[in-house]
A and B are shown apart, each in its own frame.
Chain A
């Protein structure tokens, strides 16, 4: 192959990548549209008459009618649908059935708390799980140390079986109630982040570290790691400079939906720690049957998760481009 063909090869790869980007974005938009429609139907159909069930059986009929009018629920369904879509484009996520307050405002107040919690926990997971996975892989490579392997898989299986909310409950009992060491609830300062972040990240870290170990074992068998060994580099250089970056892409590919899952997991953790994020509002709205809020928040959650997944995919494909290109060209 001459240099010129390799250049044209990478240009072809560029087009392929653009196509990939368009396909992914298109798929995301379709998914978003499905969610919007489902959310729209939720408000109109859930439990017979959502307004009546939200305001309660004792509410005056005239109040219910007024609220229906305000929500536009008396228009033909198709008109309502387009009104709703138009509203979404203006950034209007609807209003609470019970209080009539704007959902967009609620989101702008509460979203940062949720994103902070999930984002920090995500970072913690990666920072803990990847080095642990790599370390255990280094120890257990080849055929030795079956004991380490067994203990590691056993312990991580156990930790991964502890749901976030349960760990949260245990943490509250041990640290906040028994030891009085940390704030029990709410978002009051740096210390108040500690327990919720731990609750949200520990079981995810356990499962990701298992994936990371498997990926690292694979990477350590790769030819370029042997090449690095042939240069008699210090061990840390072989592992951190040569193995780690390659293993990271592979780990992220498999653990790619992790961030989305953590955002969902934050719903539970918020509940346990009284964390003033979207999750508390979401669960509260479901139990009080305020489907106006449910509708809006479901959209927000879906959008966050879809966008996050798209971003992870794009970052990965960028990282991966040079290697996947080789396979196809």
Chain B
């Protein structure tokens, strides 16, 4: 509770709102006591005076000071708005909670009544009520309460379904918690906070609505007066004294703003507590970079064929996201190279940073992510330190991306053909018709039947496999030299998977493009790739020839060995988790000391927990980041490495 309050008091908006409300409450309590008589006593000597030092807002037709009347009106205006909101909230919440008792049918019926009711604007319902009951302050309050009822009823409905179905309540029930305690401990707190937020904002809206009614002359009737009434009187005299209307107007806005600001900061506070808003850039500080000093000999030295200039060279890539407690580091110090035409797989559990790494390389990291690298080169061009936009421009269509979920990756509002054709249209500077023809040809290339017709359709008219093939066509249309495929087959069933994989392999072979295929599925990679990068907790832990996966005893890293322990083929049911390594991947929002796998590793030693292993060339021809490699062909003689007890 204390932490919650201190968090709220850190919001400047909440503090300002509370101060404004304090002023209003003081006025509402004391103004009528102090100035009440003066505000209503007619003074024939000072009729309709303009503003002066004595009467800051002038006087009205009966010689009463408008400023005093405005201040005195605070009480009636506030009391009416609060009363209307509370009545509306009570009735609405009761009505909304009731259908839950009567079952689903009643709930649906009631929901439809509520949404019809909600469709009527506040003002219209209020005016009809006024007609029925005759104008006056009480009527205005009743009218406003009536218009507020449905929104509270809807709130109660959503809340009761949310709380009623929640797990903690079921648990409490199972544990035999008394009904009363269930209510006070579990139900009430979860309902109370959203209701308080809504009541606060509704009072603000109510103030404005009531002043509108009074302004129209159908709300508060003379001799009573609220701000709306004063405004309407002032507007009547607007040619003589414009300020007479401005004064009450300012107070209306002031009060409305105070309540809506308070409601909003309360709501924002609740939201942040539920979802955890990221820290502000100032409090986050600069994004972390890979700790390894740059003088260390490049760890990428031995991968891919050394003789060729690599197509892609990544050294010391780190990606950080802003989180509620500081930077979250999904990718740390990742280095690798891709040779032209080479097909490399990236494997790891979800959360291992494999997709984030590749999206960052493609300059497609989400907004807000901090991407740093010691060295990032593509096809001989240096991208190190460029902004994503600038680097993206350099890459152009030379990197094609096949995205994971073909359903969400295609724009639902645009025709498939258009989404393909815009690439040659923008980059190839070809005409509309020609670009469209290219799109149709690309679709035809990926074996989409009747491509000319299909190009005119929207993504939802495609089947899942066709959408994925359309995405492949999209990645191909700019003739890239590197294709990055992010889980290209995850959403598909087995037969479709085969076709898509075959298609990817064919496209790479025909175009000679290199490819990076990201997957959590070793079997998929085994079908396509020559080499595989194994990632764990944001780091590359092993980089090996794909052939070695078939002989697990030659793999060096304990994690890779566990991952491939039961290498399935494409026909194995892969809805069940592949590997069952006991334990959980580490929390990436905290800095990890030592090897991230240590907590789950059977071979972990003290060294593993204190020193982070970096990928170094290994005798199996690849790289391994482990203090105790497990491919026990020969005893490890690398200096600085301890012998593993046999």
A→B interface (CB under 8 Å): 1-3, 5-6, 10, 23, 27-28, 30-31, 38-39, 41-42, 45-47, 141-144, 146, 153-154, 157-158, 160-166, 169-170, 172-173, 177-178, 220-224, 226-235, 237, 241-242, 245-246, 257, 260-261, 263-265, 267-268, 271-272, 282-283, 286-287, 291, 294, 298, 301-302, 305-306, 309, 322-323, 325-326
**Distance (whole angstroms) from the CB of B401 to the closest CB of chain A:** 4
Contact A260 B462 (CB under 8 A): no
Contact A173 B280 (CB under 8 A): no
A-B contacts at CB below 8 angstroms, number: 222
Q: Which residues of B lie under 8 Å from residue A143 when comparing CB positions?
A: 278, 280-281, 284, 322, 368
Given A166-B252, A261-B121, A302-B124, the answer on whether A161 and B426 have CB atoms closer than 8 Å is no
Contact A227 B124 (CB under 8 A): no
Contact B128 A282 (CB under 8 A): no
Contact A222 B397 (CB under 8 A): no
The interface size of chain B toward A, counting residues with CB under 8 Å, comes to 91
Interface residue? B175 (CB, 8 A): no
Contact B112 A161 (CB under 8 A): no
Contact A46 B132 (CB under 8 A): yes
Q: 18 A-B pairs, CB-CB below 8 angstroms? A: A5-B463, A157-B260, A160-B260, A161-B253, A163-B256, A173-B238, A223-B409, A227-B471, A229-B364, A232-B395, A264-B124, A267-B123, A267-B216, A282-B127, A286-B218, A305-B120, A322-B458, A323-B412
Q: How far is the CA of A276 from the CA of B211 in the complex (A)?
A: 23
Q: Which residues of B lie under 8 Å from residue A221 when comparing CB positions?
A: 366
Interface centre among A2, A10, A31 (most CB of B within 10 A): A31
Q: How far is the CA of A282 from the CA of B423 in the complex (A)?
A: 57
Residue in B249, B369, B414 whose CB lies within 8 Å of A169:
B249
Given A224-B412, A305-B120, the answer on whether A142 and B249 have CB atoms closer than 8 Å is no
Contact B208 A163 (CB under 8 A): yes
Contact A166 B253 (CB under 8 A): yes
Residue in A10, A31, A169, A302 whose CB lies within 8 Å of B461:
A10
Interface residue? B122 (CB, 8 A): yes
Contact A272 B408 (CB under 8 A): no
Contact A42 B281 (CB under 8 A): no
Contact B411 A141 (CB under 8 A): no
Interface residue? B597 (CB, 8 A): no
Contact A161 B245 (CB under 8 A): no
Interface flags for B528-559 (1: CB within 8 Å of A; 0: not) read 00000000000000000000000000000000
Contact A286 B403 (CB under 8 A): no
Q: How far is the CA of A180 from the CA of B369 in the complex (A)?
A: 53
Interface residue? B407 (CB, 8 A): yes
Q: Which residues of B lie under 8 Å from residue A265 when comparing CB positions?
A: 121, 123
Residue in A169, A231, A283 whose CB lies within 8 Å of B231:
A169
Given A170-B246, A177-B239, the answer on whether A6 and B462 have CB atoms closer than 8 Å is yes
Contact A227 B410 (CB under 8 A): yes
Q: How far is the CA of A169 from the CA of B212 in the complex (A)?
A: 12
Given A161-B260, A305-B119, the answer on whether A271 and B216 have CB atoms closer than 8 Å is yes
Q: How far is the CA of A323 from the CA of B487 in the complex (A)?
A: 23
**Distance (whole angstroms) from the CB of B36 to the closest CB of chain A:** 25
Residue in B119, B393, B400, B423 whose CB lies within 8 Å of A306:
B119
Residue of B nearest to A28 (CB): B116
Contact B422 A226 (CB under 8 A): no
Q: How far is the CA of A226 from the CA of B410 in the complex (A)?
A: 10
Q: How far is the CA of A169 from the CA of B230 in the complex (A)?
A: 13
Q: How far is the CA of A306 from the CA of B389 in the complex (A)?
A: 47
Q: Which residues of B lie under 8 Å from residue A287 when comparing CB positions?
A: 217-218
19 further contact pairs, Cβ within 8 A, besides A39-B128, A177-B242: A1-B463, A1-B465, A28-B116, A163-B212, A164-B212, A166-B252, A173-B246, A224-B408, A227-B403, A227-B471, A230-B362, A230-B399, A232-B427, A233-B422, A241-B414, A242-B414, A257-B119, A322-B412, A326-B412
Q: Which residues of B lie under 8 Å from residue A172 when comparing CB positions?
A: 238
Q: Which residues of B lie under 8 Å from residue A5 when comparing CB positions?
A: 463
Interface residue? B345 (CB, 8 A): no
Interface residue? B349 (CB, 8 A): no
Contact B392 A232 (CB under 8 A): yes
Interface residue? B261 (CB, 8 A): yes
Interface residue? B413 (CB, 8 A): yes
Q: Which residues of B lie under 8 Å from residue A298 when comparing CB positions?
A: 124, 127-128, 131
Interface residue? B379 (CB, 8 A): no
Q: How far is the CA of A14 from the CA of B412 in the complex (A)?
A: 18
Q: Which residues of A lie under 8 Å from residue B458 when comparing CB positions?
A: 322
Interface residues of B in 250-274 (CB under 8 A from A): 252-253, 256-257, 260-261, 264
**Distance (whole angstroms) from the CB of B118 to the closest CB of chain A:** 7
Q: Which residues of B lie under 8 Å from residue A39 when comparing CB positions?
A: 128
